[in-house]
Amino acid sequence: MAISISSTAAAHVAEQLADRGHGIGIRVGVKTTGCSGMAYVLEFVDKLEVGDEIFEEQGVKIIVDPKSLVYIDGTEMDFVKHGVNEGFEFKNPNAKGECGCGESFSI
């Protein structure tokens, strides 16, 4: 079981953590919402919850709760630019369909 992160994404995470000034790492997870069922969660982590799994990749701590882990195991996190927009992108081998907006996915 693992989650991977590209070096660009890792650099951006590190930079934003440094900018923020505090935090252990980032939480990657899923929550139920949206048109096709589930949406990604991406947030800073100040405090660990019971059962959290911690992955250390490229010097960045990625924290995933056990329920989410089932859905996003094997996911690759990248940082990309589309025109004037930039942000994080997930490549999930488990996802079968995405809604138009791309914020939700189904398995």
Partner 1 sequence: MALLQIQEPGGKQAKPLHRRAVGIDLGTTNSLVSASCGPGVETLPDSAAQHLLPSVVHYSKGKPPLVGVEAKALLVDDPLNTIASVKRLLGKSLSELKAKQDYLPFEFDEARADGAPAILTEAGSKDVVQISADILSALVERAEASLKGALEGAVITVPAYFNDAQRQQTKDAAQLAGLNVLRLLNEPTAAAVAYGLDSNDQGNVVVFDLGGGTFDVSLLSLKNGVFEVLATGGDTSLGGDDIDHAIAEWIAAQLQESAAVAVPSVAKLRQLANAAKHELSDKPQTAIVINQFSALLEESTLKKLTADMIRRTIMSCRRVLRDAGLAVADIDNIVMVGGSTRMPLVRDAVAEFFGKTPLTDIDPDKVVAIGAGIQADVLIGNKSPDSFLLLDVNPLSLGIETMGELVEKIIPRNTTIPVAKAQEFTTFKDGQTVMSLHVVQGERELVSDCRSLARFELRDIPAMVAGAAKIRVSFQVDADGLLSVSAEELSTGKKAEIQVKPSYGLKSSVIEEMLQDSQSHAKIDMEARSIKEAQLEATQLLDAIANALLVDGNLLSREEADSLAESIKALENTMTSGGSVQIHAATEELNQASSDFAAKRMDLHIANALRGESIDAVEK
Output the CA angle 39-102-32, nearest 5 degrees: 15
Q: Residues 6 or more apart from 104 whose CB is under 8 A from it?
A: 33, 34, 35, 36, 37, 38, 39, 98
Name the minimum Å distance from CB 84 to partner 1: 5
Name the minimum Å distance from CB 72 to partner 1: 13
- Read off the tokens for 93: 């081998």
- Read off the tokens for 6: 């590209």
Contact 50, 23 (CB under 8 A): no
> Which of 59, 66, 80, 94 contacts partner 1 by CB under 8 A?
80
The H or E element that residue 69 is part of is: helix 66-72
* Contacting partner 1 within 19-38 (CB under 8 A): 20, 26-27
Name the minimum Å distance from CB 2 to partner 1: 20
| 102 touching partner 1, by CB under 8 A | yes
Binding mask 38-67 for partner 1 (x = CB under 8 A): --xxxxxxxx--------------------
In the complex, the residues that contact partner 1 under the rule CB under 8 A are 13, 16, 20, 26-27, 40-47, 80-90, 98, 101-103
